[in-house]
Chain A
Amino acid sequence: MVEFALYNAWLVPLLPALAFLAIIFLTRPWPMLSALVAVGGIVASFVVSALVAYGVFTNPEFLEKPLVYAVRWFSMPGLNVDVGIQVDPVSAMMIFMVTMVASLIFIYAIGYMKGDPGFSVFFSYVSLFAASMLLLALSSNLVEMFVAWELVGLCSYLLIGFYSYKISAREAAKKAFITCRVADFGLLLGLLALQIVFGTLNLVELSDKVAHYEKYTTFGVLTLIAVLVFIGPIGKSGQFPLHVWLPDAMEGPTPVSALIHAATMVVAGVYLVARTVFIFAKVPAAMELVAVVGAFTALFAATIAVTQREIKRILAYSTVSQIGYMMLGLGVGSMTAGLFHMWTHAFFKALMFLAAGSVLHALHHKADIWEMGGLIRKMPVTGWTFVVGGLAIAGIPPFAGFWSKDEILVAALESGHYVLFVMAAFTAFLTAFYMWRLIFLTFFGEENPANHPHESPPVMTVPLVILAFLSAVGGLVGTPWAPVWSQWIFFEHPHHVEPNYWVMIGSVVLAAAGIYLAYQLYVVDKAKVKVKELAERYRHIYTILYNKYYIDEIYLWFNHTIIDGAAKLIYLFDIYIIDGVIVNGLAYLTGLSGESLRVLNTGRLQNYALVFFLGVLALVVLLAFTGPSSASLTLGGVK
């Protein structure tokens, strides 16, 4: 079985893709059947992935040499592109995580999407979404990966714009797609440069060649390549300054938000950096860039999340912030820590999004957390699972987020990035604060009499409970005392972290302080007087944060003045130079010449005959006075 799964890992992306085709072409008229096909596809894929993961993680040979099998896609001189599957610990972990989280989200979606007119279509899209992400995870070369990368972008477009009757959903879908396109342009340039310089895009060959890059290129070119490649993840993973699409992506149905934020889309950027880490490892400047962008984004998004009011928007900014953590982990040279945080984040962020979806489902899509309150009494399962997620993201031991966040902090500290360490630690405090602000306002405190919440059906709560369990224990695979994780997921050599008790205690204290502050402000102070006072006293800061640093407005301004201004100039150029001088000018010239030549066209046969005769006469004279050889030169005659 395990052997079969290892050598047929291509089934993992294929099964959801088949489910997509089956739903689109066969089962679309029958919603429940479509849902069953989709869930069946992803669960079957999960079983294969679990077998692959079991096979990989019981066999240390995979650490030395990944299992690659590929077929030739196309070839021409100097360019050979394969499509293949690369099974190694990183990809095995990834497919296992993606299929597990996606299976739970799919099952949840059966309940959440119930009665939606686009039920079947929804399941076909999410199946394709999962298939694309799994292909991306298993790709053995960067062209294949890029194709999957774009497929992921396409599916996100389709799903964010799923409620296409809403203008905001359509706009958000376009925003996501266009923002990612901007970033993908950088990635594409990076890939082209890699192909030109190294002559291959195969991951294994590339890592061998980049290790001795001096033979192929200079340090400067490699730096440029690394930066270009990193632009792709900046867009896809919602890093500053291309994070703007991610908070708007919540316009899609909530299970889609969960998929995008936890398993299938934003982590693609982190995964790509992890896959091409051999390039970054050679270029310290690029590593610094990754770390700085990550740390800055983490802090930046966390400060925005503090003031937001919509439940899914807060979660969206927390995703941006947590992805920043992962980038920081990768950037300070610990692929282990970065991917570990991706692993734990997938569980608790999927959990929180699904729980938020359950809340929205119960409150008929009323999203403002200030209008909620006391929901835990009516929705105990949703509430308590969300609390588990909150503990996990805040970094309270022994929940999952604590271990991974701790590892990133330690990695930042040990590599000597003290400023980034302080930023990350402060972000940890903010994370605990805003997440527990959300929890206290939503689930505790006074009930809002306008709401009539009810607990969601078991098809939605069971995935929540499973995810809550995973969020609680998912981090135990990578504790500093039993570092199973770091023995398998690493770059070059295992990154063994000695338990750093100071960092651990510090991060727990920060998290507890954040939760305590939220408790004081939002539970003890029932009338929320302090909060209003604070908001009033620091009104300017509050406004800036509430408006997300006006990044969207800056982009809009840039678009309206710079881009539109340039467009206007070019429009004038088009009207007056291209159309005016060139196109109309040519036509005018032609007309003028016709106008002046038409007097020659008398229509009288005898005039024409005269001209004809004079022409012949001229030829004869020419021949007579210059001789045949020079005449034939002038007239271009034959020899």
Chain B
Amino acid sequence: MLPLTVGLTHYVVLSALLFAIGLFGVLSKRNAVAVLICIELMLNAVNINLIAFSKYITPTLFIGQLFAVFVITVAAAEVGVGLAIIIAIYRNRLSVNLDDFDWLKW
């Protein structure tokens, strides 16, 4: 069995994969809730990135971790607002399909 040492590269690859999956979801999903979840995915990919770099480059400082905490907090708030908007739209339109929501051009 190969000695498996987990390095910076693995974290970055994981982060990139998660980010790409999230991005794909944001661009392709029709359901607004799914889009919101995908956005969360992208944010968490970024969090992994931040913590990994912090850990491997400046291990004594906790800048990345601190940043990640902030991102989590803000993401929680953002999801709250996002879900509220989706519910409000749903009440008006009885739909959460993003294809129906093209009023931003007005």
| Cβ B23 vs Cβ A605 within 8 A | no
| Cβ B98 vs Cβ A604 within 8 A | yes
| Cβ A610 vs Cβ B105 within 8 A | no
- Interface assignment of A606: CB less than 8 Å from any CB of chain B: yes
Chain B residues with CB below 8 A from A609, complex form: 26-27
Chain B residues with CB below 8 A from A605, complex form: 98, 101, 104
Interface residues in B26-68 (C-beta closer than 8 Å to A): 26-28, 35
| Cβ B27 vs Cβ A603 within 8 A | no
Question: In the assembly, what is the distance between CA of A613 and CA of B19, in Å?
Answer: 12
Residue among A603, A606, A609, A610 with the most chain B CB within 10 A?
Answer: A606
Question: In the assembly, what is the distance between CA of A604 and CA of B98, in Å?
Answer: 8
- Interface assignment of A601: CB less than 8 Å from any CB of chain B: yes
Interface residues in B50-106 (C-beta closer than 8 Å to A): 98-99, 101-106
Given A609-B27, A610-B27: A603 touches B98 (CB 8 Å cut-off): no
| Cβ A606 vs Cβ B98 within 8 A | yes
By beta carbon, the residue of chain B nearest A613 is B23
Interface residue total, chain B, C-beta cutoff 8 A: 13
Question: In the assembly, what is the distance between CA of A610 and CA of B35, in Å?
Answer: 13
| Cβ B106 vs Cβ A603 within 8 A | yes
Question: In the assembly, what is the distance between CA of A609 and CA of B103, in Å?
Answer: 16
Given A604-B98, A604-B99, A606-B98: A613 touches B27 (CB 8 Å cut-off): yes
Chain B residues with CB below 8 A from A218, complex form: none
- Interface assignment of A602: CB less than 8 Å from any CB of chain B: yes
| Cβ B102 vs Cβ A603 within 8 A | yes
By beta carbon, the residue of chain A nearest B104 is A603
Interface string of A596-619 (1 = CB under 8 A from B): 000001111110111001000000
Chain A residues with CB below 8 A from B104, complex form: 603-605, 608
Chain A residues with CB below 8 A from B103, complex form: 603
Question: In the assembly, what is the distance between CA of A603 and CA of B103, in Å?
Answer: 6
| Cβ B102 vs Cβ A602 within 8 A | yes
Chain B residues with CB below 8 A from A603, complex form: 101-106
By beta carbon, the residue of chain A nearest B23 is A613
Q: How far is the CB of A267 from chain B (nearest CB, A)?
A: 75
Chain B residues with CB below 8 A from A604, complex form: 98-99, 101-102, 104
Chain A residues with CB below 8 A from B99, complex form: 604
Q: How far is the CB of A616 from chain B (nearest CB, A)?
A: 10
Interface string of A605-639 (1 = CB under 8 A from B): 11011100100000000000000000000000000
Question: In the assembly, what is the distance between CA of A604 and CA of B27, in Å?
Answer: 10
Question: In the assembly, what is the distance between CA of A479 and CA of B96, in Å?
Answer: 114
Question: In the assembly, what is the distance between CA of A602 and CA of B99, in Å?
Answer: 11
| Cβ B106 vs Cβ A606 within 8 A | no
Question: In the assembly, what is the distance between CA of A605 and CA of B30, in Å?
Answer: 11
Question: In the assembly, what is the distance between CA of A604 and CA of B35, in Å?
Answer: 13
Chain A residues with CB below 8 A from B35, complex form: 606
| Cβ A602 vs Cβ B98 within 8 A | no
| Cβ A601 vs Cβ B27 within 8 A | no
Chain A residues with CB below 8 A from B105, complex form: 601-603
Q: Which residues of B contact A (CB under 8 A)?
A: 23, 26-28, 35, 98-99, 101-106
Q: Which residues of A contact B (CB under 8 A)?
A: 601-606, 608-610, 613
CB<8 Å pairs between A and B, sample of 22: A602-B102, A602-B105, A603-B102, A603-B103, A603-B104, A603-B105, A603-B106, A604-B98, A604-B99, A604-B101, A604-B102, A604-B104, A605-B98, A605-B101, A606-B27, A606-B28, A606-B35, A606-B98, A608-B104, A609-B26, A609-B27, A610-B27
| 3 shortest interchain CB distances as A-B pairs | A603-B105, A603-B102, A603-B104
